[in-house]
Amino acid sequence: MVKTLDGIITALEPIALLVCVTLWIYALVCFIRKNKRSAIVAGACFALIIAVMMTLADILIARARGNMLRFLDDENGPFTLVVEGQPVAETQTDSLLSVLRSVHPDRDVFHSHPTDMVEIHVADHLGRAINLALGRDSGQRQEYWLFQTDYETTSNNQLGRVVTPLLDKFPAAGER
């Protein structure tokens, strides 16, 4: 479901953008020509398209987060983790998995952004794997924005955030 929805969103994005720009221009022309009814209809269609695209992305992100958490369930273990190309010692695997399982949707509104990305590859005993990226928060060094790089939408939109000092010893790609 996540892969299908990601494909739909990725395919629709440029089309939706083109339609929205066209509607915006049309609404502006209608407004200038004092055709308020057409301007309102075009503006409403513009808003509807934006709302649908944002809703689809939110649904995909919630499903991807749920899929990731189900994958990280203890029943799928044992897991092997690789952080920035370095295998994680078995003694630290459980701690790092606990951190990943603690992901929470970001609802806090503060003005920060992810900085250096730390890449994590998680594989289960059957060889199934997910690829994650944790971007260090620009304001709080031990807070990370969690992305799943297996899909276009979740590569650009966070699944949530985690807080941990465990990744401090792994230099991010931009810090090497």
Residue 122 has what pLDDT? Answer: 95
**Position 176 pLDDT exceeds 50:** no
Residues near 71 by beta carbon (within 8 Å), at least 6 away in sequence: 122, 124, 128, 130
Supply the mean pLDDT for the chain.
87
Residue that is last in its domain, among 47, 68, 89: 68
Residue 144 one-letter amino acid? Y
Q: Name the domain count of the chain.
A: 2
Residue 110 has what pLDDT? Answer: 66
Residue 27 has what pLDDT? Answer: 92
Please indicate whether residue 114 or residue 15 has the higher confidence score (pLDDT). Answer: 15
pTM: 0.82
Same domain, 17 and 90: no
Residue 68 has what pLDDT? Answer: 94
Residue 45 has what pLDDT? Answer: 94
| Cα–Cα–Cα angle for 158, 164, 166, rounded to 5 degrees | 115
Same domain, 60 and 81: no
Same domain, 92 and 52: no
Residue 76 has what pLDDT? Answer: 77
CB 133 within 8 A of CB 147: yes
H or E element that contains 163: strand 160-163
CA-based radius of gyration for the chain: 20
**Alpha-carbon span 158 to 44, nearest angstrom:** 28
Residues near 156 by beta carbon (within 8 Å), at least 6 away in sequence: 147
Residue 48 has what pLDDT? Answer: 95
Same domain, 64 and 128: no
Same domain, 157 and 97: yes
What is the DSSP track for 115-152?
EEEEEEEEE-TTS-EEEEEEEEESS-TTEEEEEETTSH
Same domain, 45 and 87: no
Same domain, 81 and 58: no
Same domain, 78 and 62: no
Positive or negative torsion for Cα 79, 83, 87, 88: negative
Same domain, 29 and 103: no
pLDDT in tens, 4-47: 888 888 898 899 999 999 999 999 999 899 999 999 999 999 99
Averaged pLDDT for residues 75-83: 87
Q: Which residue segment(s) compose the domain that 8 sits in?
A: 2-68
